[in-house]
Amino acid sequence: MELYKEVKQLTLEEVKKHDGVMEKTVWVVIRDIVYDVTEYMEDHPGGSDLILEHAGKDGTKDFENTGHSNDAKKELKKYKIGEIIEAERKGKIKNKEPKMETNSDEIQSICCLSYLFCGLCG
């Protein structure tokens, strides 16, 4: 039996502190969900600098515009630590993980481009 686990509610001000400088940890926000990607920095195929650009900030637009694969989106879920409090949410789809692609041809071409621009592709 799985126990109910309360999701940690965080403010944008709390996230802002985790920019890799003020705090050594690196948190990013994607669709109002907060991820601690500190341990993933060195493994990011596009390099840690791309993640650091969004450290302590909302990186939704760039994450989605880069065209990450379903594998990358599944990988991201491992780093979820909480959600932005309701009053500060920006997205229209609240409490949702990044949207999964369904067209495999489109995913393959987008993933190839992702290696050039970012790299969270699995």
Q: Give SS3 for 53.
A: coil
Considering all CA atoms of the chain, what is the largest pairwise distance in Å, rounded to the nearest integer? Answer: 43
In a domain, 70, yes or no: yes
In a domain, 4, yes or no: no
Residue 87's CATH number: 3.10.120.10
- The reported pTM is 0.70
| pLDDT tens column, 49-107 | 889 999 999 999 998 888 888 888 898 999 999 999 999 998 754 445 555 555 544 44
In a domain, 1, yes or no: no
In a domain, 20, yes or no: yes
Number of domains in the chain: 1
CA–CA dist 22, 39 (Å, integer): 17
In a domain, 29, yes or no: yes
C-alpha 122, offset from chain centre: 14
In a domain, 57, yes or no: yes
Q: What residue numbers bound the domain in which 21 lies?
A: 9-117
